[in-house]
Structure 1
């Protein structure tokens, strides 16, 4: 994956997170649900890999959502 593609994924997940309201845990759960429903398997894998390797550009809500997504994928 190119750096530009990764930057696009980071931007998208941060935007989704920024549009959520309520406490951080609730917002993160909404983002996780969105990622599960609407992101392709490859996109989810790439953002999880990014979280594992660095993750520094993810907002706190986005970081929590991607970590939750990772836990859900490992459980299945």
Structure 2
């Protein structure tokens, strides 16, 4: 995956996180974000973003990082 494709994945993960801060708690938001990525992203996309989150993750916002940490064991 090219750098620009990774940038797009980062932007999408952050956008999903930004749009799902309204849940009852931060944990509920993180759970929803993780579920959304799990259900709607292709396996290759999940593998790339999880690898990035584990290696650096600095461009991800807090909720996106936490959601990807939930997915890390399955898609690493």
Query: What's the TM-score, normalizing by structure 2?
Result: 0.90
Structure 2 unmatched runs, 5+: none
Q: Which residue of 1 aligns with 2:26?
A: 24
Q: What SS class does the counterpart of residue 58 from structure 2 fall into?
A: coil
What CA distance in whole angstroms lies between the structure 1 residues aligned with 2:38 and 2:61? Answer: 18
Residue of structure 1 in register with 2:64 after alignment: 62
Pairwise CA distance, 1:52: 1.2
The corresponding residue for 1:7 is 7
Please give the alpha-carbon distance, in whole angstroms, between the structure 2 residues aligned to 1:47 and 1:13.
8
**1:41-70 CA-partner distances (Å, limit 9, x unpaired):** 000000010011100011100000000011
Q: Structure 1 segments of 4 or more deviating over 2 A?
A: none
Q: Provide the rounded CA distance (Å) in 2 between the counterparts of 1:24 and 1:45.
A: 24
* Counterpart-to-counterpart distance in 2, 1:9 and 1:19: 15
SS of residue paired to 1:58: coil
